[in-house]
Homo-oligomer: A and B are copies of this chain.
Amino acid sequence: MEKQLNLPIPTVKRFPSYLRILHQYHEKGEEFISATVLADELGLKPIQVRKDISYTGIEGKPKVGFEIKELVKVLNHVLGWDNTNEAIIIGAGNLGSALACYNGFKAYGLSMVGLFDSDEAKIGKQVGALKVMPSSEIANFIHEKRIVIAVITVPAKVAQKVADDIISQGIKAIWNFAPIDLKVPSSVALQRTDLATALAVLSVKMQNKLDSSEEDLG
């Protein structure tokens, strides 16, 4: 078994940005990059970058820094982006359909292979490359395809029931877009992305900016 890395979440959150810069420098023909350059590009402190990268086990070379190809490979591996995980989406409403159509996940090792809904009017509808399947088929689908990742885009009031059901079928990671805090066993990974809350924060920030600029004027 591989050594467990126990990566701090803030470090994980910076890894996609590191990868982006590394790809840019690779495209420019660079072979090495220093922690200082990476830090400058992202507005971080070099010591932070060095500490983050130390978790991967990669060591920089004196004067030149980190080998870009090697670092890209290891970061992709740590993030699980170097192999493709198949995932299902539960809830074929607007958001679920949008995510089913979004091809961008493939770059991050995620492939949406099933889209489910309990609304009979939606069953059989073509959404991007997927056809909406009835919720009654979720359990079989998970077992047959050995799916471990599910994206939940159902309304808040049914999200916990959906989560309980799919966890009992073997789902190990849930990406929850429903506006509710799901309760899951400690063995299940959970990540929440709440567009409504992001929009609420933006809206209030904008109002505060507008208010203070009016104060400035008068």
Contacts and interface: CB of A to CB of B under 8 A. Distances in A.
A102 B98 contact: yes
Specify how many copies of this chain sit in the oligomer: 2
A197 to B, nearest CB: 5
Nearest to A14: B197
B108 A206 contact: no
Interface residues of A, number: 76
Given A99-B98, A200-B16, A209 B189 contact: yes
B173 A189 contact: no
Contacts of A98: 98-99, 101-102
A214 interface: yes
A104 B93 contact: yes
Contact of A209 (B94, B188, B193): B188
Interface of A: 1-2, 4-7, 9, 12-13, 15-17, 20, 24, 42-43, 78-81, 85, 93-95, 97-99, 101-105, 107-110, 148-149, 156-157, 172-173, 175, 179-181, 186-191, 193-215, 218
